[in-house]
């Protein structure tokens, strides 16, 4: 036995109504293997039958792209700022799809892993958090789809695309923050499951997925900029497509601040309600 | 901070109480809508009258020393399961605290987190991780787990194709190869066919006879408690009414329940 594990065997931890003496970050770290295998489980289930798995993943953005292209591009003639309209939509769809899937997956994660909440103890925040990994994989597949679409339309991707992982980081923070909040609310209140789809529907329209904010400055778009996802989506467009205007620094900083606050609020809220979860489920 | 556990004490439960509250009027599963309506229509100082509190455990304290095998018995609804859940950290006490020394594993069911689509191997890793093992610990014990479960050639098949016997053998096998300092078990784990049951019991005996390990067993099975435990708690009406010899605890339990 190593000195480290000898030390662990002597370690005393105390827990009571308000959590544990261990410090929750340390506990999450101790259970890091769980995240790995939960994510692996989800990946295996989705991609074991590869063709069907990938089919489902690209199905949603492709359908959304088709609908938006017909409605907004062909019927309403929204401006596309020099890129094919489907490309404009799909670039917006990738961060949006990630956000809405994370929120959905998080909100059902506790009920889906019921036994991991009521039959065993582990840092429960890891259950919703591990859904991010699967959704990042899906987003990567969608980026490949986007590259195919760009090739189809003979549009060269921008070199900024190398910055895409960095640009995506605030999207992850916002999504996980909202996801943690929803996962808790879902357990505590029965009717939240009816609210989430409506809120997501609204969010899709309030985010620049089917349109772009960068080219249309007017009073209402000022309001839409307050949506923290808006600058994120515009940054994703900037990184993939040539000639797209990047959001201004102040808007980006506001969105980044909002994103960090949403993430911290989500974590705080989950931890605050953690003790009630097993009793409520 | 109450870190001052004496060297030979592995569990200290201090003044644990657990209260649940339930809404007196209206639906039990409360919705956000109800909550909002309630908070708008009821004055803050009157809100507490909307709930009824009932106590599931009151003021339980005890200590367990290293190597002790503690049984917890009591009639249904006495608060035994609540105590078990608090010791496993599944639910938090309303007041009081629990201090434990070393690595704790709680097993309320075998095969927690097993997924039918995953292979036996994948499930062993997932289940091991859920029970708090690190990757290297699972790797180190994988061979033993596999040998004990005796399902060699099927280990890479999806668990949904297993017979129920193979399934519980694999699930038990993971639980039986943990090496915690404190093990909290709900009922004595013996599963599968007669032959495997024998193997389970032998393994349980090996696990429980390790002098460095502390065992907490919550059970309805009085004979198992008598056989395994060196000390026994009797919980009645959410209170700890007896703490001592298993034989005496069982005698008192029988006296009350008959």
DSSP-assigned states of every residue in B139-167: HHHHHHHHHHHT-GGGTTSBGGGS-HHHH
Q: Do B29 and A12 make contact, defined as CB atoms within 8 angstroms?
A: no
B68 vs chain A: nearest CA distance in angstroms? 16
- Paired with B11 in beta bridges are B64, B100
Per the CB < 8 A criterion, the answer to whether B151 and B168 are in contact is: no
Instruction: Look up the pTM and report it.
Output: 0.86
B215 vs chain A: nearest CA distance in angstroms? 15
At A155, list the tokens.
């549009």
How many Å apart are CA B22 and CA B192, to the nearest integer?
40
How many Å apart are CA A267 and CA A181, to the nearest integer?
8
Strand order in the sheet with B182-186: B104-107, B182-186, B214-218, B69-73, B231-236, B239-244
B112 — contact with chain A (CB < 8 Å)? yes
Residues 6+ apart with CB under 8 A from B233: B62, B70, B71, B72, B73, B240, B242, B243, B249
Enumerate chain A positions whose Cβ falls within 8 A of a Cβ in B.
Answer: 8-21, 30-34, 36-38, 40-41, 44-45, 48, 113, 115-122, 185, 189-192, 195, 275, 278-279
- Nearest-by-CA chain A residue for B27: A190
B180: closest CA among B133, B227, B224? B133
B56 vs chain A: nearest CA distance in angstroms? 13
Q: Do A14 and B99 make contact, defined as CB atoms within 8 angstroms?
A: yes
Maximum Cα–Cα distance across chain A: 71
Q: Do B1 and A14 make contact, defined as CB atoms within 8 angstroms?
A: yes
CA distances from A246 to A149, A227, A249, B148, B162 (A): 22, 16, 9, 61, 55
In this structure, what are the phi and psi dihedrals at residue B43, rounded to the nearest 5 degrees? -70, 145
Instruction: Name the residue facing B134 among A12, A20, A33 (closest C-beta).
Output: A33
B118 — contact with chain A (CB < 8 Å)? yes
Q: Is A114 helix (H, G, I), strand (E, B) or coil?
A: helix
Q: What is the pLDDT of residue B1?
A: 45
Q: From first to last of the 258 residues of chain B, give the pLDDT tens digit.
A: 445 778 788 888 888 888 887 766 655 556 777 777 777 777 777 666 667 778 888 888 898 988 888 889 888 878 888 888 898 888 888 888 888 888 888 888 888 888 888 888 999 999 999 988 888 889 998 988 888 888 878 888 888 888 888 888 888 888 888 888 888 888 766 666 777 777 877 887 787 777 788 889 888 888 888 888 889 988 888 888 888 888 888 888 888 776
**Lowest-confidence pick of A48-52, A170-174, A249-253, B144-148:** A48-52
Q: In 10 A of CB B170, how many CB atoms?
A: 27
ipTM, two decimals:
0.82
A164: closest CA among A102, A85, A233, A213? A233
In this structure, what are the phi and psi dihedrals at residue A244, rounded to the nearest 5 degrees? -90, 135
Rg of chain A in Å (alpha carbons):
21
Q: Do B126 and A41 make contact, defined as CB atoms within 8 angstroms?
A: yes
**End-to-end Cα, chain A, rounded Å:** 39
In terms of DSSP bridges, do strands A19-20 and A12-16 run parallel, antiparallel, or are they unpaired? antiparallel
Percent of chain A with pLDDT over 70: 94
Name every chain A residue with its beta carbon within 8 A of the beta carbon of B183.
none
B91 — contact with chain A (CB < 8 Å)? yes
B5 — contact with chain A (CB < 8 Å)? yes
Per the CB < 8 A criterion, the answer to whether B85 and A278 are in contact is: yes
């Amino acid at each position: 036995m190593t000195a480290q594990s000898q030390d662990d065997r002597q370690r005393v931890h105390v827990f009571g109504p308000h959590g544990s003496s261990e410090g929750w970050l340390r506990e999450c770290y101790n259970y890091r293997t769980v995240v790995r295998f939960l994510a692996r489980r989800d990946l295996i289930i989705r991609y074991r039958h590869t063709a069907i798995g990938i089919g489902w993943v690209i199905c949603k953005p492709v359908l959304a792209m088709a609908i938006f292209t017909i409605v907004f591009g062909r019927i309403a003639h929204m401006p596309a700022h020099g890129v094919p309209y489907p490309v404009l939509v799909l670039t917006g769809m990738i961060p949006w799809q990630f956000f809405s899937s994370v929120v959905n997956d998080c909100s059902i994660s506790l009920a889906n892993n019921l036994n991991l909440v009521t039959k065993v103890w582990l840092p429960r925040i890891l259950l919703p958090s591990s859904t991010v990994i699967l959704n990042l994989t899906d987003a990567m597949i969608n980026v490949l789809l986007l590259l195919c679409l760009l090739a189809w339309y003979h549009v060269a991707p921008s070199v900024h695309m190398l910055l895409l992982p960095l640009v995506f980081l605030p999207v992850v923070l916002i999504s996980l923050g909202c996801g943690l909040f929803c996962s808790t609310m879902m357990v505590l209140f029965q009717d939240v499951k009816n609210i989430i789809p409506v809120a997501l529907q609204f969010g899709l329209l309030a985010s620049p997925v089917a349109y772009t904010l960068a080219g249309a400055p007017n009073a209402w778009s000022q309001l839409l900029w307050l949506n923290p996802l808006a600058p994120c989506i515009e940054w994703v467009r900037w990184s993939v497509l040539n000639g797209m205007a990047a959001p201004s620094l102040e808007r980006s900083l506001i969105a980044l601040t909002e994103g960090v606050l949403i993430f911290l609020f989500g974590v705080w809220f989950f931890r605050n309600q953690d003790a009630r979860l097993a009793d409520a489920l | 901070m109450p870190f001052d556990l004496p060297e030979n004490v592995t569990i200290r439960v201090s003044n644990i109480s657990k209260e649940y509250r339930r809404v007196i009027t209206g639906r039990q599963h409360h919705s956000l809508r109800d909550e909002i309506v309630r908070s708008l229509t009821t004055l803050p100082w009157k809100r507490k009258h909307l709930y009824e509190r009932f106590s599931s455990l009151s003021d339980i304290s005890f200590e367990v020393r290293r190597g002790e095998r503690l049984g917890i018995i009591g009639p249904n609804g006495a608060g035994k399961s609540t105590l078990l859940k608090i010791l496993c950290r599944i639910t938090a006490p309303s007041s009081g605290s629990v201090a434990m020394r070393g690595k704790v594993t709680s097993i309320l069911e075998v095969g927690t987190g097993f997924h039918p689509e995953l292979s036996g191997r994948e499930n062993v890793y997932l289940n091991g991780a859920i029970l708090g093992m690190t990757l290297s610990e699972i790797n180190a014990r994988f061979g033993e787990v596999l040998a004990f479960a005796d399902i060699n050639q099927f280990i890479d098949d999806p668990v949904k194709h297993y017979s129920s016997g193979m399934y519980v053998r694999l699930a038990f096998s993971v639980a039986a190869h943990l090496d915690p300092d404190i093990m909290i078990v709900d009922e004595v784990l013996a599963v599968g066919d007669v032959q495997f049951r024998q193997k389970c019991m032998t393994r349980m005996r090996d696990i429980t006879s390790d002098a460095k390990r502390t065992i907490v067993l919550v059970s309805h099975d009085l004979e198992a408690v008598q056989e395994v435990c060196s000390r026994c708690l009797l919980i009645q009406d959410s209170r700890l009414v007896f703490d001592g010899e298993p034989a005496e605890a069982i005698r008192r339990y029988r006296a009350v329940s008959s």
